Chains A and B, each alone.
Chain A
């Protein structure tokens, strides 16, 4: 008998997969751009929320500055594509390596502290990075950078065009799904078990004979890479980057998304991002003040359902199977 939580995760995974395939088919048949681009954006910010969940849900570290790595990835990708070479693979490789390095270096600063101090120091790091980018002329300062070229992405047997909304959506889906799969895999390894131990009780871990520092650092670096890779996809979708990508609202949104979707479930943040993005788009047609509604929903979730949508779903599944058993 699989636990209710695992079943809930499986249900959401399959629903997201099916929905994505349907959307792709829909886009290819009707030539739709609006929904494919919206869904692509939802997945990109879902990747950012995924990195928040890795730290918060798996390791118990609340980062209020993931936008730093997201923005880093986005800007690096824009610079690479515009000024070095319009190559998807080269850009991704460079982003992967440099963001891992950046995550590794900043982990020494951020991981010196715990709990709220960690939250504040990540907040501060991102804020400073945003200020620096905002004032750096070479990066377009407050205007950001426009004119990121359209890409022809070479796979061995076929080619994708980043200007084709359906094809690019599929590519982003594959990238996010790959990162999700890797994270899911890690949770089943000894490293995942140690993360779980850190989240439950970091001090006790030392008594059992494990160091927590290394595994925390690994989590931090992976989270930085996931955020940066997600960010790197952004200019390919929108054709521009702006310093707003590094602002606190982006980090904050990612935390909201992860918490609403279900912290610790990994798939919850992706679902949360899809729901929130579409919700904002729908509600955006009649008011710009969606933060009032989202913020209120967030407060209610934190108080009454701290494990978010996924938590509520698995609770329902559990009570359902109880009834069947009677």
Chain B
């Protein structure tokens, strides 16, 4: 029994946790963007890939890993800002803006994926993890980089929550999500808040791409492979809810990790999706409310 826990269950939980951190980081950007702008960002996965590829190239030209972690989000911020201003704001006042923005971001995703293929080629590239080795804890082998990832991811999540709930920028974002006309009449430039929030979400996606590249490699379709899980997490947690994204992200990846011990791993995705369908059927707004509710 002890051995089962130690050698079979525990490693699965640890693996699930590091994947969970990554999913939560992706889902955070998605859920913030939806909570504020009502935009389903279909290109979110491609920005995650952008972060991974940017990290590959930066590391290749000799930029140290830690500086790279700082540079990647800084590169993605203006890209996200531009995309919001140049594309999304144009269809924002349209009656079908949900569908139009979804289509727009889908078009961008199509272009980006092909651009990655053009620049970096179709094959996976795996940058070297900056922290090698592993430590043994209670007989468990824990790769150091995964431990770092969990700690860093945890800090990042706390940081994002702090930004949204404790700073004046966060208050403005939440106010704009709650009532954009009232916020505008109080002197907030809602348009700029939208663009900033969008680029912020995109930057987090890029950062998680950079963080995960040493584990899962960088390849052009990586965003697409990952985004269904991120969407599932966001839907289960409640579109627009940060708390929901964190809890659902960690929970669902554990479901996936642990269930793969008992059922063939290829069936874990349908299982997670079934959870999403059930949530949509009985609690369509997800487990927690929107951005404004916390």
Q: Which residues of A contact B (CB under 8 A)?
A: 56, 60, 62, 109, 112-113, 115-117, 119-121, 123-125, 127-128, 131-132, 134-135, 248, 252, 255-256, 259, 289-292, 294-296, 298-299, 302-303, 306
Please give the distance in Å from A256's CB to the nearest CB on chain B.
Answer: 7
The chain A residue with its CB closest to the CB of B276 is A124
Indicate if the CB atoms of B277 and A109 lie closer than 8 Å.
yes
Decide: B232 and A124 in contact? CB cutoff 8 A. yes
The stretch that binds A, out of B19-27, B112-120, B129-137, B152-160, is: B112-120
B216 in contact (CB, < 8 A): no
Given the complex, which residues of A lie within 8 Å of B106, measured CB to CB? 252, 255-256
The interface centre, meaning the residue of A112, A292, A296 with most chain B CB atoms within 10 A of its CB, is A292
Given contacts A123-B228, A303-B104, contact A113 B111 (CB under 8 A): no
Interface string of B89-104 (1 = CB under 8 A from A): 0110010101110111
Q: When A112-B284, A117-B280, A128-B273 are in contact, do A299 and B108 touch as well, CB less than 8 Å?
A: yes
How far does the Cβ of B169 sit from chain A's closest Cβ, in whole Å?
26
B103 touching A259 by the CB < 8 A rule?
yes
Seed contacts A113-B280, A256-B107, A291-B113; 20 additional CB < 8 Å A-B pairs: A112-B280, A116-B239, A120-B40, A120-B231, A121-B280, A123-B231, A124-B228, A124-B232, A127-B228, A127-B273, A128-B273, A132-B266, A135-B264, A292-B114, A292-B118, A294-B110, A295-B108, A299-B87, A303-B90, A306-B96
Residues of A within 8 A of B126 (CB): none
B interface majority secondary structure: helix
Q: Could you give 23 example pairs across A and B, Cβ below 8 Å?
A: A62-B103, A109-B277, A112-B284, A115-B99, A117-B235, A124-B277, A125-B273, A127-B228, A128-B269, A132-B266, A134-B266, A135-B266, A291-B111, A291-B113, A294-B110, A298-B110, A299-B111, A302-B91, A302-B100, A302-B103, A302-B104, A303-B90, A306-B94
Query: Is B102 a contact partner of A116 (Cβ separation < 8 A)?
Result: yes
Q: Least Cβ distance of A241 to chain B in Å?
A: 19
Question: Chain B contacts of A252 at CB under 8 A?
Answer: 106, 110
Q: Which of A62, A125, A128, A299 contacts B104 (CB 8 A)?
A: A299
Contact with A along B253-271 (1 / 0, CB 8 A): 0000000000010100110
Report the minimal beta-carbon distance from A151 to chain B, rounded to whole angstroms: 33
Q: Are B235 and A120 in contact (CB under 8 A)?
A: yes
In the complex, are the beta carbons of A119 and B102 less than 8 A apart?
yes
Query: Please, how many residues of chain B have a CB less than 8 angstroms from a CB on the other chain?
Result: 39
Q: Which residues of A contact B107 (CB under 8 A)?
A: 256, 295-296, 298-299, 302
B118–A132 contact, CB under 8 A?
no
Residues on B with beta carbons closer than 8 Å to the beta carbon of A113: 280, 284
B270 and A131 form a contact (CB under 8 A): yes
Tell me if B224 is interfacial: C-beta within 8 Å of chain A: yes
Residues of B within 8 A of A109 (CB): 277, 281
B residues 49-99 touching A (CB-CB < 8 Å) = 87, 90-91, 94, 96, 98-99
Name A124's contact: one of B117, B231, B281 (CB within 8 Å): B231
Do A128 and B235 have beta carbons less than 8 Å apart?
no
User: CB-nearest residue of chain A relative to B117?
Assistant: A289
